[in-house]
Amino acid sequence: MKKSFVILLHAGVWLCFYLMVAIVLTVYYRTDVNAVNQMDRIMNAFNNIFLFAFLPAAVSFYLYYFVLFPKYLQQKKYVLSLVFGFAISATVAVLAYILHRYFIETGRVMDMDEGGKHGRSTALTTIAVMTFIGIIGGIVGWVVKGFITWFNEIKLKEALKEKNHEMELALVKLQLDPHLLFNTINNIDSLILTDAIAASEYLNRLSDIMRFILYETKSDKIPLTKEIEYIEKYVDLQKIRTANENYVQLTVIGNAGNKFIAPMVLIPFIENAFKHTGNKKLENAIIVQIFIHDHTIQLICENKIDPGKKMKHQAGANSVGGLGNELIEKRLDLIYNGRHTLQTHKTDYLYSINLSIPHE
């Protein structure tokens, strides 16, 4: 939601507040048959309304808005929200009452009523009314903040849906690139005469990868086990393109269990590592480590850079093989909204990324 619209929304809330107060005061003094110089009394009432009504309502509104809603209500801590909300409104009411009585009127915290009796009961009643006003103001703050949050979430989901569509198209285009597909099929074909069983197994893995890309990635969340399974099959297919058994090392540490993540958030970095590692004879040219922690998933991916192809790597470092870093980072921002960390490090001989994302 645009900042200007939020400001207008707040201004509208307080305009309605003052209009309501004006209507109540006007109706009250018009029905008061003993009123003398009603306009002066109305103006005097407006002078006092700041402390008795506006201050408790405004302070409660913004404390509920900025503190209670994100830290308690949005986290479904309903009891704490109610307790702290009442405490805030009551505290503000007491302070506003003391400020009015002690500093603005006669310097006495407690006043005398018309009959000459001590005004303790009147003070308690006034504080109770001010507390109620503060609670109403706070509830309005919750409603306004809830509406803004709801609206922003809708816009975020729309943007995420659009970005996911772009990501899906980019991934399909990347994975179905004719050269990659033909090379894989040729590699499998070469195995048919020497090892038909292995060729059939690799062909099934290629089929599984195509099926995963075309169907599994349509969901917002997928089991972590499926993402890891896809990565393992992708790495296995890449291995048949070289006789170097130590070309790539893939390690998964931790229990995937029933954890869920957004689809295709790990694989783009691994694909980029294969694309920019030209020398397949290097030992441990690509090292992929996936750590599954209690609340996060960490991906560390390193690929060695062939000095002989340094210029080619630099030329492609920004484009990241048709699936740009900018697109990947935007998708991560939309999905995790700053709850992830992504660090990259590049030297003349090594490129590495360290990604940490929360799982559900």
Give tens-digit pLDDT for 194-223.
888 888 888 888 888 777 777 776 777 889
> What string of H, E and C letters represents the secondary structure of 136-185?
HHHHHHHHHHHHHHHHHHHHHHHHHHHHHHHHHHHHHHHHCCHHHHHHHH
* Spatial separation of the C-alpha atoms in residues 83 and 133, rounded to whole Å: 16
pLDDT in tens, 302-351: 998 876 654 444 434 434 444 566 777 877 887 887 889 999 998 888 89
pLDDT at 86: 93
Residue 288 is predicted with a pLDDT of 95
- For the record, the structure tokens of 305 come out as 């850079």
pTM: 0.52
Query: By the 8 A CB rule, do 227 and 267 touch?
Result: yes
pLDDT tier at 253, thresholds 50, 70, 90: very high
pLDDT band at 168 (very low <50, low <70, confident <90, very high): low
Q: Among candidates 350, 349, 329, which has minimal Cα distance to 340?
A: 329
161, pLDDT greater than 90: no
When comparing pLDDT for 66 and 169, which is higher?
A: 66
**Residue 254: predicted pLDDT:** 92
Concatenated DSSP letters of 272-341 = HHHHT---TTSTT-EEEEEEE-SSEEEEEEEEE--GGGHHHHHHHHTTTTTS-HHHHHHHHHHHHTT--E
| Residue bearing tokens 């503000």 | 92
Tell me the average pLDDT across 238-264.
87
Does residue 81 have a pLDDT over 80?
A: yes
- Average pLDDT of the segment spanning 13-27: 76
Q: For residue 244, which amino acid is it?
A: N
- Which runs of consecutive H residues, i.e. helices, occur in 31-119? 38-49, 55-63, 78-98
pLDDT band of residue 172 (cuts 50, 70, 90) is low
Higher pLDDT, 36 or 265: 265
Give the pLDDT confidence score for residue 50 in this predicted structure: 67
Percent of the chain at pLDDT above 70?
Answer: 75
Structure confidence at residue 318 (pLDDT): 39
Mean pLDDT of the chain, nearest integer: 78
Which residue's entry shows tokens 């393109």?
Answer: 241
Q: pLDDT: is 245 or 241 the higher one? A: 245
Indicate the range of 20-24, 88-92, 142-146, 173-177 predicted with least confidence. Answer: 173-177
Query: Over 80: is that where the pLDDT of 25 sits?
Result: no
Check residues 62 and 159 and name the one with the higher pLDDT: 62
**Domain layout of the chain by residue ranges:** 3-155, 176-358
In angstroms, rounded to a whole number, what is the distance separating the alpha carbons of residues 217 and 169? 11
Candidate CATH numbers 3.30.460.80, 3.30.565.10, 3.40.1640.10, 3.40.50.2000; the one for domain 176-358? 3.30.565.10
